[in-house]
């Protein structure tokens, strides 16, 4: 099947190998393993409810084999700065709940059918309980945050939640709009993705009562990593590697979601190509063979590799943000995981 996939060889194989990348995540997992076991326990405990449908539906998503990258970042940040308390456990759980709440709502909003290789909750249980269980996880996240006893943490995470939803609405308003600039696109992905990565790291600095330089370094690491992560996600949506990750190739294309590969291709393209993008992404009048043609045009202008290069740029900034910290296991795992996030593209 993979041989006939239209998106094969679109994202060039260059640099790093899959094996190295896996090792980076494994190293981050190893550094955070003891704490992550507490987080997993807290996740299971806090998604319970006497209303059986809630843990059933939430568990379908939460137990579906996500990497738990965001809570891992909270734990790794705490480790990086030698935090010795227990408040990062609840906060890492809250971060994962906020993320999962947005996934449930996204799947309803996008009418998705597949996530992490499994049927989506909205497909199995319908939109009604999926929206409500998203709200439940969101509320539970706030309950967990309140448990941190830090008003500053609460400010950071509640503000992050507002910004995430603003980013998602902004994304809706840019859908089908080929005049979307790269700057506007960066604003969208910063809000919808990077702000939660940033908050996930920053809160560990706050509970560990670090100085402002440390807290803002953690914030910058998370934010830049989040931007890189989303850039790669958007490149992967046009890559056959996507299929191995349990998602459909070309979802963004079919929805007319304007991401950087298309923004660049539209600018770099000729009149015929612009007409093609207008018909398929703006008017969303698509026919057989359009996705294949889109992939060929993206490839011709090298916009997928350009997107990966942009990601590499933000990845470097993420790594540099960690320069102020003394070397330790957590630091090197956090640096390596930046490369993992980028090399997912290969």
Question: Where along the sequence are the contacts to a copy of itself (CB under 8 A)?
Answer: 49-54, 101-102, 105, 108-110, 127-129, 131-133, 135-136, 138-140, 142-143, 145-146, 149, 151, 154-155, 158-159, 161-162, 164-166, 168-170, 172-173
Q: How far is the CB of 262 from a copy of itself (least distance, A)?
A: 20
At closest approach, how far in Å is the CB of 332 from a copy of itself? 35
By C-beta, is 158 or 248 nearer to a copy of itself?
158
Provide, rounded to whole angstroms, the least separation between the CB of residue 151 and a copy of itself: 6
Q: What are phi and psi of 325, to 5 degrees?
A: -90, 145
For a copy of itself, the closer of residues 113 and 244 by Cβ is: 113
CB of 199 to a copy of itself, least distance (A): 12
User: What is the DSSP secondary structure assignment for residue 8, as one 8-state letter?
Assistant: T
Q: ∠346-256-245 over CA atoms, to 5°?
A: 30
CB of 54 or CB of 295, closer to a copy of itself = 54
Locus of tokens 């940040």: 77
Q: How far is CA 124 from CA 43, 46, 306, in A?
A: 22, 23, 38
List Cβ neighbours of 17 (8 Å cut-off, separation of 6 or more): 343, 346
CA dihedral angle for residue 42, residue 43, residue 45, residue 46, rounded to 10 degrees: 100
Q: How far is the CB of 317 from a copy of itself (least distance, A)?
A: 24
- Cβ distance to a copy of itself smaller for residue 190 or 239: 190
Residue nearer to a copy of itself on the CB measure, 54 or 80: 54
Residues linked to residue 114 through DSSP beta bridges, in sequence order: 119
Q: Which two tokens stand for residue 44?
A: 């299971």
């Amino acid at each position: 099947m993979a041989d006939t996939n239209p998106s094969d060889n679109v994202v060039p194989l260059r640099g790093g190998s899959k094996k190295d990348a896996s090792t980076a995540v494994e190293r981050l997992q190893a550094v955070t393993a003891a704490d992550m076991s507490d987080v997993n326990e807290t996740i299971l405990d806090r998604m319970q409810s006497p209303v059986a449908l809630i843990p059933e539906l939430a568990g379908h998503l939460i137990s579906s084999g996500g990497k738990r990258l965001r809570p891992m970042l909270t734990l790794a940040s705490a480790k990086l700065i030698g935090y010795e308390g227990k408040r990062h456990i609840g906060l890492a759980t809250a971060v994962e709940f906020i993320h999962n709440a947005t996934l449930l709502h996204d799947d309803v909003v996008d009418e998705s059918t597949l996530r992490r290789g499994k049927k989506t909750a909205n497909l199995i249980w319908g939109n009604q309980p999926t929206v409500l269980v998203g709200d439940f996880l969101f509320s539970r996240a706030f309950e967990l945050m309140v448990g941190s006893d830090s008003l500053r943490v609460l400010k950071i995470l509640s503000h992050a939640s507002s910004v995430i939803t603003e980013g998602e609405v902004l994304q809706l308003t840019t859908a089908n709009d080929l005049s979307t600039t790269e700057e506007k696109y960066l604003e969208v992905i910063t809000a919808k993705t990077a702000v939660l990565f940033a908050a996930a790291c920053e809160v560990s600095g706050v509970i560990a009562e670090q100085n402002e330089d440390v807290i803002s370094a953690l914030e910058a690491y998370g934010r830049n990593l989040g931007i890189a992560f989303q850039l790669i996600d958007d490149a992967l949506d046009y890559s056959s590697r996507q299929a191995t990750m349990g998602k459909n190739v070309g979802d963004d294309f079919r929805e007319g979601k304007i991401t950087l590969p298309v923004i660049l291709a539209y600018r770099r393209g000729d009149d015929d190509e612009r007409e093609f993008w207008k018909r398929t992404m703006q008017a969303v009048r698509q026919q057989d063979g359009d996705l294949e043609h889109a992939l060929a045009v993206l490839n011709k202008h090298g916009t997928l590799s350009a997107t990966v290069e942009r990601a590499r740029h933000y990845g470097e900034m993420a790594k540099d943000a960690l320069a102020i910290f003394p070397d330790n296991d957590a630091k090197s795992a956090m640096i390596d995981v930046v490369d993992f996030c980028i090399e997912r593209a290969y």
